[in-house]
Amino acid sequence: MSMSTPPKWSVPRVEPRYLMDQRLIIRGEGTLHGRTKDISENGLGATVAGELNIGDVVELEFYLTGSLTPVKLRAHVKYRQGFQYGFHFVNITELEKSGIREAARNLQPVG
Does 45 fall in a domain? yes
Domain limits for position 58: 18-103
pLDDT digits (tens, 9 = 90+) for 4-53: 555 555 555 578 999 999 999 999 999 999 999 999 999 999 999 999 99
Q: What is the CATH number of the domain that holds 97?
A: 2.40.10.220
Total number of domains constituting the chain? 1
Count CB atoms within 10 A of the CB of residue 22: 19
* Ramachandran sector of residue 82 (left: φ over 0; alpha: ψ -120 to 50; beta: rest): left
Give SS3 for 47: strand
Give SS3 for 1: coil
Q: Where are the alpha helices (DSSP H) in the chain?
A: 94-104
pTM of the model: 0.87
